[in-house]
């Protein structure tokens, strides 16, 4: 076997792992439930699909889903891009805490966030949906774009300025093209999240606003109209595939290699009055948009009817003790953390292999494949699990392994997004030099690729931990009843009668917030040498 053939084989094998992972845990269950709906007797019945496009109410649902997601994405980009810059480039006291805090909303249960929004006077409306979507997805932009921005070599921009280009021209012709892949990726993910957003639309939109996701949920869990639910799922899937295909195509043409440098060599304290204004304005936006709703939750957890204090946290450990519903809070924290670590490890290994394979080929189809699960209804996937994973070696129903596997499925695209660009930016001359000095391909991977990617892998892992901690949609279908995660505990508390349960749910979400902050701060602090600082 020649070295080239062996290298190509390695790439193919590395790509095969994520593909098989997604095929088994996503493709097969979704195909099973959609198949049951559209071809109950083995022959395809196109009638439900026709209904989606002929029934004006359902057509309206499709259209509303698309435009609210597009508008939400736009709002998120407009508000979060400046924030991403500030957090990536400006050095100021407390920055790493702010970075961690803006990640917290991403993992909070929608039902509590909705309550907080309503409590500060936001009425159920389209505006509330948009605001909440910005609230939840701000972190996506800050993470995905910020990671790129932190390491983008400002040398070219400075050179262009020196040669007399205006600020605006530099931004448009130098910085923007270099950032573009990250912005497109963040926008795509945000769009997918808003496209399949469930709780936000249901709780903050009010019952008159229906998206594909809420309609699939309604048809599946209420009417048991599997044909219609399957048809809606197919439409949802087709829209997601079309979007990812378009994005992949435009990105292949627009790919611009960018020079990366260690973040600490680029970032600086705000020097000009303009920089101070930018910093202050963004911190204000973050406070109003992100911190206020979070603060409402924290304050409510500290002010149960019995007065200010930790009673709600104590209630978490006492309420319903001795009942089958009771789970000691520490146990739920332990369960959540163990699942999250396992899920993050799976996501980092599988996603790392995908990023590595992706970096060695020009095509981006793998990134797209891994993002598809984000764009598909959790209830479709959950019911798919139920009827597909019930026999033979795939009999995973009731197995706890399914929880981290399902969570890893959600975290996977982020790992690829955060690690891929770093691997792609490794200067090929570095590898060539090492090879010339006699390093074997294995040694190059170990001594060059891995150390450089290590920090990105670590940060991605921390983000994967955060995602898994907050994951609710898929987890709720596969979680073992005696070992619920924190979001499941919160949901159960909210279904119980009595005010004490409501405040205990707030307390549980307070604990969830702390866990997320710890995960992100640890992930951001981890440094593996100078070359790891990417």
Partner 1 sequence: MRRPRSRAAFVRVPVTTICATLVATLVATLGATLGGVPAGAAERRVTLVTHDSFALSESVLDRFTERTGIEVQVLPLGDAGQIVNQAVLTRGNPVGDVLFGVDNAFLTRALDANVFERYRSPAVDGVPEALRLDPKHRVTPIDYGDVCINYDKAWFAERRIPVPETLEDLTERRYRDLLVVQDPSTSSPGLAFLLATVAEFGPDRWQGYWKRLRANGVTVVDGWEQAYYDEFSGGGAGGDKPLVVSYATSPAAAVVYADPPITRSPIGTMTGSCFRQVEFAGILAGTKHRAEARRLVDFLLSPGVQADLPLQMFVYPAVADTPLPAVFTANADTADDPYTMTPARIGARRDAWIRAWTGTVLR
Q: Which is nearer to partner 1, 390 or 427 (CB)?
A: 390
User: Shortest gap between Cβ of 381 and partner 1 (angstroms)?
Assistant: 14
- Strand runs (DSSP E) across 156-309, as ranges? none
Torsion angle, alpha carbons of 33, 39, 45, 47, to 10: -20
User: Which residues within the stretch 34-93 sit at the binding site for partner 1 (CB under 8 A)?
Assistant: 36
Dist CA 158 CA 225 (whole Å): 60
User: Shortest gap between Cβ of 208 and partner 1 (angstroms)?
Assistant: 5
Q: Which is nearer to partner 1, 326 or 365 (CB)?
A: 326
User: Which residues within the stretch 149-208 sit at the binding site for partner 1 (CB under 8 A)?
Assistant: 202-203, 206-208
Rounded to a whole number, what is the largest CA-CA distance in the chain? 75
Q: Which of 33, 103, 509 is nearest to 291 (CA)?
A: 103
Q: Which is nearer to partner 1, 8 or 527 (CB)?
A: 527
Q: For residue 526, what are the CA distances in angstroms to 352, 519, 532?
A: 18, 11, 9
Among 113, 141, 454, 508, binds partner 1 (CB under 8 A): 454
Dist CA 16 CA 38 (whole Å): 30
User: Which residues within the stretch 259-278 sit at the binding site for partner 1 (CB under 8 A)?
Assistant: 264
User: Shortest gap between Cβ of 265 and partner 1 (angstroms)?
Assistant: 10
Angle between helices 126-151 and 176-195 (to 10 degrees): 150
Among 12, 223, 268, 284, binds partner 1 (CB under 8 A): 223
Among 65, 188, 220, 425, binds partner 1 (CB under 8 A): 220
Q: Give the end-to-end CA distance of the chain in Å, rounded to a whole number.
A: 35
Residue whose pair of structure tokens reads 């609710």 in the numeric block: 472
Angle between helices 110-119 and 486-494 (to 10 degrees): 60
Size of the site for partner 1 (CB under 8 A): 82
Among 53, 481, 514, 525, binds partner 1 (CB under 8 A): 481
User: Which residues within the stretch 136-155 sit at the binding site for partner 1 (CB under 8 A)?
Assistant: none
Q: Is residue 428 part of the contact set for partner 1 (CB under 8 A)?
A: no
Q: Which is nearer to partner 1, 244 or 297 (CB)?
A: 297
Dist CA 128 CA 457 (whole Å): 35
User: Which residues within the stretch 367-396 sit at the binding site for partner 1 (CB under 8 A)?
Assistant: 383, 386-387, 390-391
Q: Is residue 301 part of the contact set for partner 1 (CB under 8 A)?
A: no
Query: Which range, of 168-176, 178-186, 354-362, 491-499, touches partner 1 by CB under 8 A?
Result: 491-499
Dist CA 23 CA 25 (whole Å): 6
Q: Which of 470, 350, 362, 361 is nearest to 419 (CA)?
A: 350
Q: Is residue 492 part of the contact set for partner 1 (CB under 8 A)?
A: yes
User: Shortest gap between Cβ of 36 and partner 1 (angstroms)?
Assistant: 8
Q: Which is nearer to partner 1, 164 or 207 (CB)?
A: 207
Among 94, 163, 168, 222, binds partner 1 (CB under 8 A): 222
Q: Which is nearer to partner 1, 95 or 338 (CB)?
A: 338
Among 400, 426, 444, 517, binds partner 1 (CB under 8 A): 400
Q: Which is nearer to partner 1, 124 or 431 (CB)?
A: 124
Dist CA 384 CA 33 (whole Å): 5
Dist CA 410 CA 475 (whole Å): 10
User: Which residues within the stretch 103-122 sit at the binding site for partner 1 (CB under 8 A)?
Assistant: 111, 114-115, 118-119
Dist CA 325 CA 315 (whole Å): 14
Dist CA 153 CA 260 (whole Å): 5
User: Shortest gap between Cβ of 257 and partner 1 (angstroms)?
Assistant: 24
User: Shortest gap between Cβ of 514 and partner 1 (angstroms)?
Assistant: 20
- Burial class of residue 277 in the structure, from the number of CB atoms within 10 Å of its CB (0-12 exposed, 13-18 middle, 19+ buried): exposed
User: Which residues within the stretch 325-354 sit at the binding site for partner 1 (CB under 8 A)?
Assistant: 325-326, 338-339, 341-342, 344-346, 348
Dist CA 9 CA 16 (whole Å): 10
Residues 6 or more apart from 490 whose CB is under 8 A from it?
109, 111, 112, 505, 508, 509, 512
3-state secondary structure of 44: coil
Q: Is residue 212 part of the contact set for partner 1 (CB under 8 A)?
A: no
Q: Which is nearer to partner 1, 224 or 436 (CB)?
A: 224
Residue 437 is given by DSSP the state: T
Q: Is residue 482 part of the contact set for partner 1 (CB under 8 A)?
A: yes
Q: Is residue 527 part of the contact set for partner 1 (CB under 8 A)?
A: yes
User: Which residues within the stretch 303-322 sit at the binding site for partner 1 (CB under 8 A)?
Assistant: 304-306, 311, 315, 319-320, 322
């Amino acid at each position: 076997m020649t070295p080239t053939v062996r290298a190509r084989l390695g790439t193919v094998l590395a790509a095969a792992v994520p593909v098989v992972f997604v095929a088994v845990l996503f493709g097969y269950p979704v195909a099973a439930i959609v198949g049951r709906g559209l071809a109950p007797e083995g022959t395809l019945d196109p009638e439900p699909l026709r209904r989606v496009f002929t029934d004006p109410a359902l057509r309206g649902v499709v259209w509303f889903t698309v435009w609210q997601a597009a508008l939400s994405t736009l709002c998120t980009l407009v508000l979060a891009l400046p924030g991403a810059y500030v957090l990536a480039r400006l050095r100021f006291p407390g920055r790493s805490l702010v970075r961690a805090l803006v990640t917290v909303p991403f993992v909070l249960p929608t039902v509590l966030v909705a309550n907080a929004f309503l409590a500060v006077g936001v009425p159920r409306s389209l505006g509330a949906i948009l605001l909440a979507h910005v609230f939840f997805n701000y972190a996506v932009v800050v993470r995905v774009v910020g990671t790129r921005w932190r390491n983008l070599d400002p040398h070219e921009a400075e050179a262009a300025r020196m040669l007399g280009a205006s600020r605006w021209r530099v931004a448009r012709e130098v910085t923007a093209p270099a950032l573009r892949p990250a912005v497109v990726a963040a926008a795509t993910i945000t769009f997918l999240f808003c496209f399949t957003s469930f709780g936000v639309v249901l709780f903050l939109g009010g019952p008159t606003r229906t998206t594909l996701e809420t309609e699939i949920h309604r048809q599946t869990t209420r009417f048991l109209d599997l044909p219609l639910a399957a048809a809606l799922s197919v439409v949802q899937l087709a829209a997601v595939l079309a979007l990812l295909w378009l994005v992949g195509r435009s990105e292949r043409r627009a790919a611009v290699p960018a020079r990366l440098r260690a973040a600490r060599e680029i970032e600086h304290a705000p020097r000009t009055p303009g920089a101070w204004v930018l910093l202050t304005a963004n911190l204000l936006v973050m406070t109003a948009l992100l911190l206020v709703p979070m603060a409402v939750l924290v304050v409510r957890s500290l002010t149960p009817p019995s007065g200010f204090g930790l009673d709600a946290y104590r209630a978490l450990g006492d309420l319903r003790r001795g009942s089958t519903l009771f789970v000691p809070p520490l146990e739920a924290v332990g369960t959540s953390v163990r699942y999250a670590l396992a899920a993050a490890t799976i996501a980092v290994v599988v996603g790392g292999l995908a990023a590595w394979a992706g970096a060695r080929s020009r095509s981006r189809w793998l990134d797209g494949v891994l993002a598809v699960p984000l764009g598909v209804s959790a209830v479709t996937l959950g019911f798919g699990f139920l009827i597909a994973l019930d026999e033979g070696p795939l009999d995973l129903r009731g197995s706890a392994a399914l929880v981290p596997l399902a969570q890893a499925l959600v975290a996977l695209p982020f790992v690829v997004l955060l690690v891929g660009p770093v691997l792609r930016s490794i200067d090929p001359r570095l590898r060539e030099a090492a090879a010339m000095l006699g390093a074997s391909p294995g040694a190059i991977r170990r001594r060059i690729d891995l150390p450089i990617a290590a920090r990105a892998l670590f940060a991605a892992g921390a983000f994967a931990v955060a995602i898994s901690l907050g994951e609710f949609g898929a987890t709720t279908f596969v979680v073992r009843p005696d070992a619920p995660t924190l979001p499941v505990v919160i949901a159960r508390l909210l279904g119980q009668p009595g005010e004490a349960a409501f405040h205990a749910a707030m307390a549980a979400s307070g604990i969830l917030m702390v866990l997320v902050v710890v995960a992100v701060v640890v992930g951001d602090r981890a440094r593996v040498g100078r070359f790891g600082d990417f």
